[in-house]
Amino acid sequence: MKFQKSNPLHYLIYSLSFLIYIICIFIKFFSVKRKNKTITLTGHKLIGNLEVLFNKQNQENLVMNYITFNYQDYLDLKTFYKKEGLDANILYVLKPLDVYKCLSSNLIIASHGIFFHKLITKYLKIKTLYCGHAIEGAYPIEEDNKLFKDLQNYSEVWMYSDFEKDMFIKDFKYPYKNLKVNGYPRVQYLLENGNKQNALKNINNINNKIVLYAPTASRNDKDFLNSTFSPFRLENLKKLDEFFKKLNTTLIIKTHLNDKFSLEVENYFENSTFIKHTKNVIVDYDYDFLIMSDMLITDYSTIYVDYLVLDKPIIFIAPPDPNKNRQYSKVIENSDIHRVMTFESLLSIIEYELSNINESKETVILKNLIFNDLSINKVLDNSFEAIKKLI
């Protein structure tokens, strides 16, 4: 769960969890009981790399727990994983025994930051691994450089590919020696499950082509929210609905987890045949949305990098930038990315690409650039080999 300054409940949850962690750290520090070989996963959501690792634990004879700050996620995950016999592996930060279990682990794997990271590595001797949540799309903010301050504490920081490691060292001037080109487990999941597209469509009673629209986080930027590309404007959705109805194609909109729609827009999704939001689509795993689609539309989001392995068309658009204070890395600011500037041009290109579903020259170049010589089919083996060395 990402901390939201405007949400009073988050202050309560983080304050209580702070106290629980401090007490449990104190107890663990004076406890003679050794750590066990369990692994704790932590991140805003159990998605992406964390999800793939969690689901593979039995095959690797490992015990992995996932701890969350979000109580609703805790309940939903307990229910979902009960059928797999993994419901006991879902932990909640406001349950002291669950926090104690977390701090009894040999290894903590994170997709974002770790609570009391320095403290638990220094005094509890817990090893930590950063598995990543996305390839780095922007330069670190130089004033305080929270990214470097956090990453330096990990035993290993997994890089998406040699391309990202080179970017960290040469462009970002990252000074620490804990970077490891491992690849992202979720990319291998995409590659191995690409043949499930029709099955995923059938589950949702979709018998036509699917376009996935995955914009970057809005950050409540008014220019972005009110642009002609915005999925948050009802007027835009009505135009898209009419267009995709004419093409007999389904548009699925995948927004950032912190973005919210108005009630009016949510009701529109409920009643539309050709435009759906991801919360109204049935999938088991977050990345099934990429698998079930035939084309991706995105703007300044790094989601396109994962999509490259599926060898499907990608359209880049240029809405007003909601990240005005960030300098994009060459993942986003790239001469091989050509952006569509107007809504009318976007509709024309969508229609053309849907009638010629082929990987474009642009996406081939980007794929070769970013993945280079990475053996995607060996990422999971490499991941678990690295994990087992650390525990």
| Structure confidence by residue, pLDDT tens digits, 78-111 | 999 999 999 999 999 999 999 999 999 999 999 9
The Cα 100–Cα 87 span in angstroms is: 17
- What value does the mean pLDDT take over residues 270-289? 94
pLDDT of 1 higher than 50: no
Q: What does the mean pLDDT of the chain come to?
A: 92
Q: Please report the pLDDT score of residue 293 as a whole number.
A: 97
Please state, for a pLDDT cut of 90, what percent of the chain lies above it: 80
**CATH for 195-371?**
3.40.50.12580
- Which pTM does this prediction carry? 0.90
Q: What is the pLDDT of residues 282-328, one digit of tens each?
A: 998 889 999 999 999 999 999 999 999 999 999 999 999 998 888 99
- What value does the mean pLDDT take over residues 201-223? 96
- What value does the mean pLDDT take over residues 117-146? 89
Confidence of residue 345 (pLDDT cuts 50, 70, 90): very high
pLDDT of 144 higher than 80: no
The Cα 284–Cα 251 span in angstroms is: 19
Determine the 3-state secondary structure of 67 from DSSP. strand
The Cα 206–Cα 197 span in angstroms is: 11
Residue 387: Cβ within 10 Å count: 21
Strand partners, 298: 214, 316
Domains 8-183+377-390 and 195-371 share a fold: yes
Confidence of residue 141 (pLDDT cuts 50, 70, 90): confident
Please report, for the chain, the start and end positions of each structural domain, with discontinuous segments joined by +: 8-183+377-390, 195-371
- Superfamily of structural domain 8-183+377-390: NAD(P)-binding Rossmann-like Domain (3.40.50.720)
Q: What is the pLDDT of residues 216-242, one digit of tens each?
A: 999 999 999 999 999 999 999 999 999
Strand partners, 90: 66
